[in-house]
Amino acid sequence: MENLARNALSLFNVHMTGRQITALITYERELLDWNQKFNLTAIRDVESIRTKHFLDSFSCALAWKTNPPRRLIDVGTGAGFPGIPLKIIYPAMQLTLVESVGKKAKFCEHILNVLGLENVNVIHSRAEDLGQKKEHRETYDWAVARAVANLNVLSEYLLPLVKIGGTVLAQKGESGPAEAQSAENAMKLLGGKLKQLIPVNLPGVADDRYLVLLDKVAATPPKYPRNAGTAAKTPL
C-alpha cells in the first residue's frame, strides 16, 4: 500500500492518511473475498486491484485538481469504482452510486457499511430511468463513469444528471479521443460540449488512458434520456 500512496501523490497529487490507507486495505480484502463467490470484477490479484481499481479511480483528481465535487454520481459503478475510493479520500463529498446488477449494488452497500462511510446513496437502477426522475435530473456537479459504454451512448446516460455548469467525466481507454470526436453531435443535442482530454499514465499499464471531460452548457431536452436500452440500440 505504500507504493499506492506514493503513486497517488506523485501522479495525481492525492494525499492519503493512514486511516484512508487502512480503509483501502479493508476494501481490497472484502473485494477479494466476495469475488470468489460472486464474480464482481475480472481483476483478481492485489497488485492489479491497487493499480487498475484504486489508482485508476484516483486519476479522476486530475480533472478537478484542488476543487473536488460536492455532489458526484457514479454511473455503472460495478464494485464501487471510481466512486468509493474517491469518497474515501474526499469524505465531505456526497456520493450516489448507480448499478443495474443486483449483486454489485449489494456489495457496494456492504462495503459502505463496513467502512462506515456516510452520505452515500446506492441505487439499484439503470441510468436512463434515473435521468428522468425529478430528484436526480440536472442535480449533480459531476457525473462519472468508467468503461460503461461508447461516449455517444454514455453522454445520454450522464448529461441529463448534471446541472448546467457541471461536468461529465468519462474514464476511457485508447479509443477516448476518437470517441470524443464522434460523440460531439450527441453531446450538443444533450446540452454538453467537449471540454478537454486528459491523458492518464498508470504504472505498469501499457494502454493509453484518458479522462474525457464534457461541460454541461445547456439544459438537456426533456425527451432524453430515452427509455432503457434505446440509447445503446440507436445511439444519437
pLDDT digits (tens, 9 = 90+) for 93-144: 999 999 999 999 999 999 999 999 999 999 999 999 999 999 999 999 999 9
* pLDDT number for residue 147: 79
- Condensed to tens digits (0 to 9), the pLDDT of residues 61-103 reads 999 988 999 999 999 999 999 999 999 999 999 999 999 999 9
* pLDDT number for residue 68: 96
The C-alpha cell that represents 223 in the structure block: 425527451
Question: Pairing state of beta strands 162-172 and 209-216?
Answer: antiparallel
3-state secondary structure of 109: helix
The C-alpha cell that represents 157 in the structure block: 446516460
In sequence order, what are the residues at sequence separation of 6 or more whose Cβ sits closer than 8 angstroms to the Cβ of residue 233? none
Burial level of 32, CB count in 10 A (0-12/13-18/19+)?
middle
Angle at CA of residue 17, ends 59 and 85, nearest 5°: 40
225 touches 231 (CB < 8 A)? yes
Q: What share of the chain is helix, strand, coil (3-state, %, to 5)?
A: 45, 20, 35
The CA distance from 221 to 225, in Å, is 9
* pLDDT number for residue 27: 98
Q: Hey, what domains does the chain have and what are their CATH numbers?
A: 66-233 (3.40.50.150)
User: Average pLDDT for residues 149-153, to the nearest whole number?
Assistant: 95
More confidently predicted of 41 and 233: 233
125 touches 98 (CB < 8 A)? yes
3-state secondary structure of 223: coil
pTM for this predicted structure: 0.97
With bands split at pLDDT 50, 70 and 90, how would you rate the model's confidence at 41? confident
Q: Output the CA–CA distances (angstroms, integers) from residue 90 to 69, 118, 145, in the order listed.
A: 9, 11, 18
